[in-house]
Every structure is written in C-alpha cells, then in structure tokens.
Amino acid sequence: MNILVAGFQHETNTFAPTVASYESFVRGEDFPGLVRGEGVFELLNVNLPASGFINFVRAQGHLVTPVIWAGAGASAHVTTDAYERIAGEIVDAAASASFDAIYLDLHGAMVAQHLDDGEGELLSRIRAVVGADMKIVVSLDSHANVTQQILSLADGVVAYRTYPHVDMADTGRRAGELLLALMRSDRPAQLVARRVPFLIPVNSMSTMLQPARGVYELLAELEPQVLSLSFAPGFPAADFAECGPVVWGYAFDEAEAGRAVQALFERVCEPEEQWAVAFEAPDPAVRRAMRIARTADKPVIIADTQDNPGVGGDSNTTGMLRTLLALGAQDAAIGLLCDPAAAAAAHEAGVGATIDIALGGCPQVEGDAPLRGHFVVEALSDGKFVYGGPMMNGKASDLGRMARLRIGGVRIAVSSAKAQLLDRNMYRAVGIEPSQMKILVNKSSVHFRADFAAIAEEIIVVRAPGPFIADPSELPWKKLGRGMRLKPNGPVFGKAQ
C-alpha cells in the first residue's frame, strides 16, 4: 500500500494567555519544528507517533507519502490563520494524491479561534474529498478530548498509554497494526465508546503513579479480547461541550468491544475519588524541601505546575523564585524561565558580570510582577541542544539565547523561547548539572518525571500562582457539557449550587 501520513498537534488551553500562531508551529516549541514532504523522514529517530507508524509500516513492505508534520507547545487557541494553512495542506494532499489509506498523527485537544473541534473538523474535510471507503486511522495524545466527530469519521483511533508520554512512537506502531488489521478484514470493526462523567486533574493522570498505572494495566489485560482499546483522561482546560475523559474500543464483534469498554470504564470511575489531587502551597513546600535536602543525597524536585508551558503557561512566573529567595534556599535551581530580554542582557554583559534587571513576570497573573534584582551572569549558551531523556529522546531543540543567572543561593536557567522543563539536558544547556543540586524547581506538571524521577529524593507538586489552573473546578467554564462534574466528586456544571 501507499499510505498518506500527516501530523498536526496542539493541546489547547482555552483559558491560557497566549495563542498558537503559524510561527509557533514553524518553531515547534516543545515539538520539532514544522517539516514537509521528505523532511518528515528526518523525525524517524524522534519519539513521535508518526515515526513509530512510518517505521512499522515500511518494515511491513508498505510505502509512505508524507505531507507535513506540525506541532506547537500548549497554549490558548490555534489562530484561524495557522489552522487553515496547515489543515489546508493536509486536505489538499488528500484530494490530489494517489494512495490507499491515511494515517494522521493528531493530539485530540485542539481548539482553534473559529472552531471547537480542530481534529474533528480536519477529519470532516478529509472525508469530504476521499469518500467513505478510504481507511483513516488516527493516533491521539492521552490528553485528547475525544469527540463523537473524531470517532465517527475515523476507522480507528488509538491513544497514548503513558504519562509522561514515553510511548509516542509505540502508539504510532499500534496505529499501524490497527490499520493493517482493518485493511485485511472483510468485516467492519465495531466501535463502542463511553464518556466519563467527571473531569480528571492533569496531575493525577501520571502513569508512574496510581490510579492511572492500574487503569492502564487493566487496559493491557483486556485488549487481547478486542482489536484495540483506549482510554484518554482528557485535557481539563478546553472550554467546549465534549471536554472530558473517554473510554473506547474496537472489535469485529460489538458485544466483545462492549464488554472490554465497560470493564475499563468501571475501573476508571470506581471509586471516583481515586483521581483527587492534593497540592501544596509554595511556602510550606519549599520549607519541607529545604529540610529534606539537608540530609539527602539527591535533589528534591518541586513541580511548578501552574506555570507549565506544556499545558498553556508561558514559563515566566516568579512566585516560586521569590519563595526560594525569601526562605534563603541554597544550591537551588529553577527552570526554564522564559525572558528573551533578560537573556539578551546577560549575553551583552558577558560571563562574570552582574546585571540589574527585572526578570520574568506574567501580566495575566495577578500580583506576578517581574522580579527586580542584581543577577550574576554565570554562563551563556546559544540554546541549542538535544534531548537525552526517554520522552523526547533525540529531538534537537533551539530555545534561542540562554543564560544561567544567580541570585542568592538560586540559579536560574533563562531561555528566549518557552518549553516545558522535562529533560535534564535543558539544565545542562546552561551548565547546571541537575543531580548536583539540592532543590530543583521544574516548570512542569508530570512529564519531568520521565527523566527526573531517577534522581529525585522526593517530588512535591506545588500550586504557585500561574495561568494554568490545576484544579479544573476553579475554571470559569461557559461551554462545558451540562452534567459534567468539574472534578472527581465535584460540582456539576450547569446545575445551581
């Protein structure tokens, strides 16, 4: 077969401060930069669904026609311009190329300025030009808000099973396996799906911890009974009607699919409180980290979850930095703090200089003013490095000019472009060896665990002021589906309280 391949990924936090422009996709931010045609093959050694799919189907003797791969870091809405330009390329290729099947590497939580269901709309446009008989298989992030339109228009949909997402390439391979199974059969696959009636906080979705670990273990036990089984906990910060978790599966026998989906659905929902999250405030968290660090051989890691660029933050809040300084923390590091002006000032002054600047600050967060102070420039970097951890291993990154600044006992990894702190090489890019620090403050929610858990004495999740509200019940919802609980055992949207 000749299989058309395209990728278009964005996780949209409709409450976030910054939109995703076309230039965001060109840069890639947390993802590789936009590539077209044969350029997609340059990603085959990167842990991405498209690479897993392409490597698998080629090994089976099939051909691939790559169109485009584009991804941008989580933010507010994808601009109309960006959506139409990238989706337009994919639809035009589908209309003009000669091929036997289609694979799409999508996220599943894309909201554009002019439409709520980015992936569903893309599938609708593709179906309009290729017809109902063309087999289309899609892979999704586990943070997908899986809509009825996505499920009804694709012949097969599979989702990641790990968070941190270390199985992205594996998910692409599974999408390839499902596509080939569908192409070999003269029977249509039967879909069964169940929508979970409550939002799940991002911080409780980590498959390195319970309950998510147990849910996916059960999924693996059940899947041999069916063609494919998936669970997406969703992305609980996208204000549209179908935001939320979904369980779905495929089998040639609808009853078999129903039994597997029901068993997994019950495990997800019972008990509901298993998904509840306890957050710590900055001051007690740093005090506890300092106590532990006095005798620990490994760093204490604090997750600054509400300024995580991986869920829509801009990686520029100063709350955790101020707390570290106020409490006199020593041998501490924080990263990344995105401030192009600060990085430029450091490069102009040079290593060894002391610069008087106002660092960071998020205008959309009340009270989060830039931190004015005297910072020592300890190291400079061009911001180019390669990810070494298990999640984005092999991905080349360019975060623009970077600097290592020091104030008091705290070192700050400053970048010119935002990216979630999920890989130790991001600190090493400015000469900070993470394992040698007493305290690390990572602007991340969960992904950092993939590379940092092995060196952590303890991990503390902190709610410092930031643009990503970690408790979904505190968001100002307007379009969420009525009857959805805003968190496990939480208030019901659309119901008078």
Q: What is the pLDDT of residue 495?
A: 73
Q: Which two tokens stand for residue 314?
A: 């801009």
Q: If you search the block for the tokens 């036990």, which residue do you land on?
A: 221
Specify the 3-state DSSP secondary structure of 100.
Answer: coil
Q: Which two tokens stand for residue 363?
A: 């205008």
Cα 347 versus chain centre, distance: 31
Specify the 3-state DSSP secondary structure of 364.
Answer: coil
Cα dist from 408 to 27, 318, 325, 330, whole Å: 34, 15, 7, 8
Amino acid at 223: E
Q: What is the pLDDT of residue 97?
A: 79
Q: What is the pLDDT of residue 496?
A: 56
Among 401, 406, 411, 322, residue whose Cα is nearest residue 361: 322
**Is the separation of the CB atoms in 144 and 158 below 8 Å?**
no
**Is the separation of the CB atoms in 234 and 109 below 8 Å?**
yes
pLDDT one-digit tens code per residue, 127-166: 999 999 999 999 999 999 999 999 999 999 999 999 999 9
- How far is Cα 44 from Cα 105, in angstroms, rounded to an integer? 13
Buried b (16+ CB within 10 A) or exposed e, 227-246: bbbbbbbbbbbbbbebbbbb
Among 49, 57, 2, 52, residue whose Cα is nearest residue 180: 57
- Beta-bridge mates of residue 163: none
Domain segments of the chain: what residues? Answer: 2-275, 282-470
How many Cβ atoms are within 10 Å of 333's Cβ, its own excluded? Answer: 26
Q: Evaluate if pTM is beyond 0.85.
A: yes
pLDDT one-digit tens code per residue, 268-307: 999 999 999 989 999 999 999 999 999 999 999 999 999 9
Provide, for the chain, the percentages of residues in helix, strand and coil under a 3-state DSSP scheme, each rounded to the nearest 5: 35, 25, 40
- Tens digit of pLDDT at every position of the chain (497 positions): 999 999 999 999 999 999 999 999 999 988 999 999 999 999 999 999 999 999 999 999 999 999 999 999 999 999 999 999 999 999 999 999 789 999 999 999 999 999 999 999 999 999 999 999 999 999 999 999 999 999 999 999 999 999 999 999 999 999 999 999 999 999 999 999 999 999 999 999 999 999 999 999 999 999 999 999 999 999 999 999 999 999 999 999 999 999 999 999 999 999 999 999 989 999 999 999 999 999 999 999 999 999 999 999 999 999 999 999 999 999 999 999 999 999 999 999 999 999 999 999 999 999 999 999 999 999 999 999 999 999 999 999 999 999 999 999 999 999 999 999 999 999 999 999 999 999 999 999 999 999 999 999 999 999 999 999 999 999 999 999 999 999 999 999 987 54
Among 128, 172, 135, residue whose Cα is nearest residue 154: 135
- How far is Cα 465 from Cα 179, in angstroms, rounded to an integer? 44
- How far is Cα 17 from Cα 368, in angstroms, rounded to an integer? 14
Residue 247 has phi, psi (to 5 degrees) of -110, 135
**Is the separation of the CB atoms in 424 and 389 below 8 Å?**
yes
Q: Which two tokens stand for residue 415?
A: 């970048």
Q: Which two tokens stand for residue 480?
A: 């969420």
- Beta-bridge mates of residue 461: 303
**CB neighbour list of residue 217: distance below 8 Å, 6 or more residues apart:** none
- How far is Cα 463 from Cα 480, in angstroms, rounded to an integer? 24
How many Cβ atoms are within 10 Å of 427's Cβ, its own excluded? Answer: 24
Q: Which two tokens stand for residue 257?
A: 């699919």
Cα dist from 234 to 21, 269, 290, whole Å: 23, 14, 35
**Is the separation of the CB atoms in 448 and 301 below 8 Å?**
yes
